[in-house]
Amino acid sequence: MSPWFRTFAPRPAAALRLICFPHAGGAASAYRGWAELLPPSIEVTAVQYPGRQDRIMVDPPADMDTLVRGITAEIGPLLDRPVAFFGHSMGGTVGYEVARALPRELRPALVHFFPSARKAPHDCAPLAPEYRGDEGILRYVAGLGGNAGLLVAHEELRELALYVLRADFHLIDTYAHRPGAPLACPVTAVTGSYDAACTSADAAAWATYTTGAFDRRELPGGHFYLESAPEELMALLADTLLPVTASAAR
């Protein structure tokens, strides 16, 4: 398989593939346990960005366009069946831009997009000045909570985490949405109930980015609600995607 993707529990007979895009500072391993919580008709594949874990020796991408081009160039073989994209935080922007960049002949394979804890592209903005520099990055990440906050609090892992976070925050700071045609697939924007970084009202702005159906869902938790409420999220994903898998199986 391409170095860009990890499938921790291969399901060759699955009717649908869920492709997951990690948050800033995150890696494919964030989605390692998802397959166990989803029906066997869904296979989970996670994107492994350069510069982390087993790709630590690969330079992080210089900007969002570079990252998107790298993923898009390798994703074709994964679109041999219906797929859904799930992108958390920064990964919501990455997933959206990859969806836009798919070659025209591959776009019908994308049957659903889940931006998670991420503002709509036109609302994305650079981090505030107080979060510049290493100390600012650490304060920002710690404030989001979840496992990411624990990681940067660990002295021995902090510098390794900062190496990735510096690169990812540069992608966020330099990202500028370019208007274009909306997606054709349904979109479900998901937020945590007390996430100040992306509220339910923020998520509503994703409605203009698709010509398909739009839904907005709120689950209990903060920015990393997917760590504190995994069962609720897996139920939402399964309920949304199982009708697609049933149609694909016919």
Tell me which residues are annotated as active site: 89
Q: What DSSP string runs through the chain? A: --TTEE-SS--TT-SEEEEEEPPTT--GGGGTTHHHHS-TTEEEEEE--TTSGGGTTSPPPSSHHHHHHHHHHHHGGGGSS-EEEEEETHHHHHHHHHHHHS-GGGGGGEEEEEEES---GGG--PPPGGG-HHHHHHHHHHHH-HHHHHHHHSHHHHHHHHHHHHHHHHHHHH------PPBSS-EEEEEETT-SSS-HHHHHGGGGGBSS-EEEEEESSSTTHHHH-HHHHHHHHHHHHHHHHHHHH-
